[in-house]
Chain A
Amino acid sequence: MSSSLAKTLAESARSFDSTGSEVDYEPAALRIARPSAKPASGVPVLAGPARLGCRELFKSYQKGSVGIPVLQGVHFDVSDGEFVAIIGASGSGKSTLLHLLGTLDKPDAGEVLFDGNRIDNLPATSRDLLRNRHFGMIFQAYHLLPELTAFENVLAPAYIYESTLGYWAKRKQYRQRAMELLELVGLADRAKHKPSELSGGEMQRTAIARALMLKPEVLLADEPTGNLDRSTGDQVMKTLCELNEKQNLTIIMVTHDPLIAGQADRTVQIAEGRIVG
């Protein structure tokens, strides 16, 4: 597994170098930390190989001069193809955990592992690439780019991954992929609409399509149904479950709703920065 990631990263780096659009991409930045020889003691052994996990994560936010602890030693693993729901009250640190797993933020202490490699201490360029190619993210507030149409929003990760010329050369494949994804989430007829012309459910499904654009290994979902009513929320959940079942996509979802969490394979309860069950 780890060799496949390294290979992908190296390939991406080559494509960056050849087009020259992303400068300052040092080969050293590609070095993936070796899996630690001695895993921290007390790690629960999982049935499947661990896709994404964390070891003793600590994180606190600075509010004025006081540091407010958010995560206090979170420790868990998600195996390949698993659908995990992280459930907890608001302020319990579940969103922060998701951001740390998705390398959007850095932990104060502890490690984040992807395919057994430490990723929290990678240089910025490598983490950008991880978010771009290997993680898909969806958010409670959808976070679509308002200036782009639904179709262009789905294409956004490809825009970011490719240089202008590189995208131009492969535009047919990318456009086809984006259209397939929109069909998958049932929005083929809304492709030319701006986010402001879409309903909440449609926006969230567009966001899912965008997250899947570059075939990520892991989908990170932050309260995906938080802003939706029950029936649209169920539609979104149905889509996520299907993706998990049919494409064996690893999904980590954060929610405060036990009913939504119940649809996942496994539920992890978090309270006051610690996993409680």
Chain B
Amino acid sequence: MYKLLLCWRYLRTRYIALICIVSVTLGVATMIVVNSVMAGFTHEMQSRLNGMLGDLVIDCRSMDGAPDAAAHMQTIRRTVGDDVVGMSPTVNVPALLYFDVYGANGKRQSVTRQITLVGIDKSTYADVSEFGNYLQHPKNRDQLDFQLRENGYDTIDHMAEDMSKVQPRKQMKSAGWGYRRYKSMIEKQHAAEAATKQPKAGDEKAEVNEPFDPFKAQAEANGEAQGQEFDSAKEQHTGIVLGIGICGMRLANGSDHFLALPGDDVKISFPTASMPPKAISERYTIVDFYESKMNEYDSNFVFVPIRSLQESRGLVDPTTGVGKFTSIQIKLKPGADANAIRDKLKSAFPQEFYMVSTWRDKQGPLLAAVQMETAVLNVLLFMIIAVAGFGILAIFYMIVVEKTRDIGILKSLGASGRGVMGIFLTYGFSLGLVGAGAGFVIGWLFVRYINEIADGLGRLTGQPVFDPSVYYFYKIPTIVQPFTVAWILAGAVLIAVMASILPARRAARLHPVRALRYE
């Protein structure tokens, strides 16, 4: 009884002990903030990684693929059909993408990018991944058909959770057929002007304005062969969906600038499946962008209809019309054990030709790195709390010395050594509770208002703390995991109690007569 009472009185009268608990508080708060932010990033990243890939992916080891996706999908259904929600075959091939950029001075420059060209089946691909949700036109989000829309592309990022942070994409307002017609008109005017000026203009200018174009000859040849002129104001090439990072860039103020828009044409070179491979080129018309907010994907992947890509690459068997595929994306039922299903599929498909992996396997190194980072941070931060423990130990020693006479009094009144020890252990425990509790509140508030705090810090220092152009997030993602928080709090309290053991033992062993005489 006296333990609790005295402990309570000591808590209320000895503020020095509360100061030493501040370090515990700060340690706990920091750990909660760091863990929440790391959990937030991890979650965001995982959902995006998983969003772009199916839960399971079967890849052909050869880039030229294997024939007959339908037969393969039937095998998959036979093997693990109960857990499969959807499947979609794709053809992946590394490629080069070219598009023209007009600078502010009206000069044109051709931009070349290395990309991964993905042929997708538009009817099933949205079932196996979040791909559909990442598109910028509302109708394409319902069903993508690789046709350029008249207009109506999103000017506001539809995935943003916090609308106040979103900068409107003004350029997207004009995207679509309207933009294509206008551009076609301007180009025709320029061509007409160039034709009239050509006799006067020097060779130098012509070279700058029209860099070497390997497609021109081919395009002209195609047009002539078909015997008709391609009218870019009325017609489009095969539709293509570009990652938003390929032709867009985020400025430091959070707004996006696009070098090309839906309605523009791009050219892509990729290898054929013949032996030896030859590079061929195709023209495509941008029909939409997709934005997964994973920069790695957004600046790398380009989607075209699978059939057109199969035909261009020579992946279609001329006699049967069956196309080859390079991978099959599989969507599993929620809660299905991806690893077990992967192992079953591994035995169904010869490993010499196929690779079966979960999306986690594919992103293994990245996920492992994040996990490792979190673990190391936790160890380091827990060290801080351990250091705080030594502070508690020192201050408790002082308090025991200060309270020596009181300890003598308690012993003369019949308190046992254990009882006296109990006072100081309870004291340490309650200080730990107070410190951890305060740390929890501070940490939680910090996490709750982390974006406001980051903004405030950015204004104060003039240096943005969280640069949206780096992360492709508008705000810092956070998740407070109750289990982690409980673990941190328990650890902090335990350290406080452990630090009070030594002083408490000293108090328990004090000789009553000597303690009473202590001045």
Interface of A with B (CB < 8 Å)? 22-24, 99, 102, 104-105, 124-125, 128-133, 137, 139, 143-148, 152, 156-157, 159-164, 166-167, 210
Cβ distance B211 to chain A, nearest Cβ, rounded Å: 87
Q: Which of B484-519 contact A (CB under 8 A)?
A: 511-513, 516
Are A160 and B2 in contact, with the CB atoms below 8 A? yes
Are B1 and A124 in contact, with the CB atoms below 8 A? no
| Residues on A with beta carbons closer than 8 Å to the beta carbon of B6 | 145, 147-148
Cβ distance B225 to chain A, nearest Cβ, rounded Å: 98
Are B412 and A105 in contact, with the CB atoms below 8 A? no
How far apart are the CA atoms of A119 and B406 in the complex, in Å?
25
Are A128 and B414 in contact, with the CB atoms below 8 A? yes
Are B412 and A102 in contact, with the CB atoms below 8 A? yes
Binds A, one of B107-115, B179-187, B371-379, B415-423: B415-423
Name A152's closest neighbour in chain B (CB-CB): B5
Partner of A157, one of B414, B416, B512: B414
| Residues on B with beta carbons closer than 8 Å to the beta carbon of A163 | 1
Partner of A132, one of B13, B414, B512: B414
Are B516 and A124 in contact, with the CB atoms below 8 A? no
| Residues on A with beta carbons closer than 8 Å to the beta carbon of B512 | 104-105
Given known A131-B413, A131-B414, A143-B412, contact A162–B406 (CB-CB < 8 A):
no
Are A160 and B418 in contact, with the CB atoms below 8 A? no
Number of A-B contacts (CB under 8 A): 79
Partner of B414, one of A105, A144, A146, A160: A160
| Residues on A with beta carbons closer than 8 Å to the beta carbon of B409 | 143-145
Are B416 and A137 in contact, with the CB atoms below 8 A? no
B384 at the interface (CB under 8 A from A): no
How far apart are the CA atoms of A148 and B9 in the complex, in Å?
8
| Residues on B with beta carbons closer than 8 Å to the beta carbon of A143 | 405, 408-409, 412, 516
Are B418 and A167 in contact, with the CB atoms below 8 A? no
Given known A23-B418, A125-B416, A129-B414, contact A164–B9 (CB-CB < 8 A):
no
Listed by A's residue number, 24 A-B pairs whose Cβ atoms lie within 8 Å are A22-B416, A23-B418, A24-B418, A102-B412, A104-B512, A124-B417, A132-B414, A139-B412, A143-B408, A143-B409, A143-B412, A144-B409, A145-B6, A147-B6, A147-B9, A152-B5, A156-B413, A157-B413, A159-B2, A160-B1, A160-B2, A161-B414, A164-B4, A167-B1
How far apart are the CA atoms of A39 and B193 in the complex, in Å?
136
B258 at the interface (CB under 8 A from A): no
Name A125's closest neighbour in chain B (CB-CB): B416
Closest 3 CB pairs of A and B: A132-B414, A147-B9, A159-B2
Name A21's closest neighbour in chain B (CB-CB): B1
B349 at the interface (CB under 8 A from A): no
Cβ distance A243 to chain B, nearest Cβ, rounded Å: 18
How far apart are the CA atoms of A152 and B1 in the complex, in Å?
12
Partner of A146, one of B2, B4, B406, B408: B406
B393-432 vs A: 1/0 string, CB under 8 Å?
0000000000001101111111111110000000000000
Q: Which of B272-326 contact A (CB under 8 A)?
A: none
| Residues on A with beta carbons closer than 8 Å to the beta carbon of B408 | 143
B444 at the interface (CB under 8 A from A): no
18 more CB-based (< 8 A) A-B contacts, given A22-B416, A105-B513, A137-B412: A99-B513, A104-B411, A125-B416, A128-B414, A131-B411, A131-B412, A131-B414, A132-B413, A132-B415, A139-B516, A143-B405, A145-B6, A145-B406, A156-B2, A159-B5, A160-B413, A164-B4, A167-B1
| Residues on A with beta carbons closer than 8 Å to the beta carbon of B4 | 164
B99 at the interface (CB under 8 A from A): no
How far apart are the CA atoms of A157 and B1 in the complex, in Å?
10
How far apart are the CA atoms of A51 and B516 in the complex, in Å?
26
| Residues on A with beta carbons closer than 8 Å to the beta carbon of B413 | 131-132, 137, 156-157, 160, 210
How far apart are the CA atoms of A166 and B2 in the complex, in Å?
12
Are A160 and B410 in contact, with the CB atoms below 8 A? yes
B466 at the interface (CB under 8 A from A): no
Cβ distance B20 to chain A, nearest Cβ, rounded Å: 19
Are A147 and B418 in contact, with the CB atoms below 8 A? no
Are A162 and B1 in contact, with the CB atoms below 8 A? yes
| Residues on A with beta carbons closer than 8 Å to the beta carbon of B513 | 99, 104-105
| Residues on B with beta carbons closer than 8 Å to the beta carbon of A102 | 412
| Residues on A with beta carbons closer than 8 Å to the beta carbon of B473 | none
| Residues on B with beta carbons closer than 8 Å to the beta carbon of A22 | 416, 418-419
* Interface-central residue, B9, B412, B417, B418, by most chain A CB under 10 Å: B412
| Residues on A with beta carbons closer than 8 Å to the beta carbon of B13 | 147
Name A25's closest neighbour in chain B (CB-CB): B416
Cβ distance B422 to chain A, nearest Cβ, rounded Å: 9
| Residues on B with beta carbons closer than 8 Å to the beta carbon of A161 | 414
How far apart are the CA atoms of A213 and B351 in the complex, in Å?
87
| Residues on A with beta carbons closer than 8 Å to the beta carbon of B405 | 143
How far apart are the CA atoms of A125 and B414 in the complex, in Å?
9
How far apart are the CA atoms of A167 and B418 in the complex, in Å?
18
How far apart are the CA atoms of A145 and B9 in the complex, in Å?
11
| Residues on A with beta carbons closer than 8 Å to the beta carbon of B41 | none
How far apart are the CA atoms of A147 and B4 in the complex, in Å?
13
Cβ distance A224 to chain B, nearest Cβ, rounded Å: 14
Name B410's closest neighbour in chain A (CB-CB): A160
Are A148 and B1 in contact, with the CB atoms below 8 A? no
B1-44 vs A: 1/0 string, CB under 8 Å?
11011100110010000000000000000000000000000000
How far apart are the CA atoms of A144 and B413 in the complex, in Å?
11
Name A143's closest neighbour in chain B (CB-CB): B409
How far apart are the CA atoms of A129 and B414 in the complex, in Å?
6
| Residues on B with beta carbons closer than 8 Å to the beta carbon of A125 | 416
Are B10 and A147 in contact, with the CB atoms below 8 A? yes
| Residues on B with beta carbons closer than 8 Å to the beta carbon of A131 | 411-414
How far apart are the CA atoms of A137 and B5 in the complex, in Å?
22
Cβ distance B308 to chain A, nearest Cβ, rounded Å: 81
Cβ distance A114 to chain B, nearest Cβ, rounded Å: 14
How far apart are the CA atoms of A265 and B183 in the complex, in Å?
123
Cβ distance A183 to chain B, nearest Cβ, rounded Å: 21
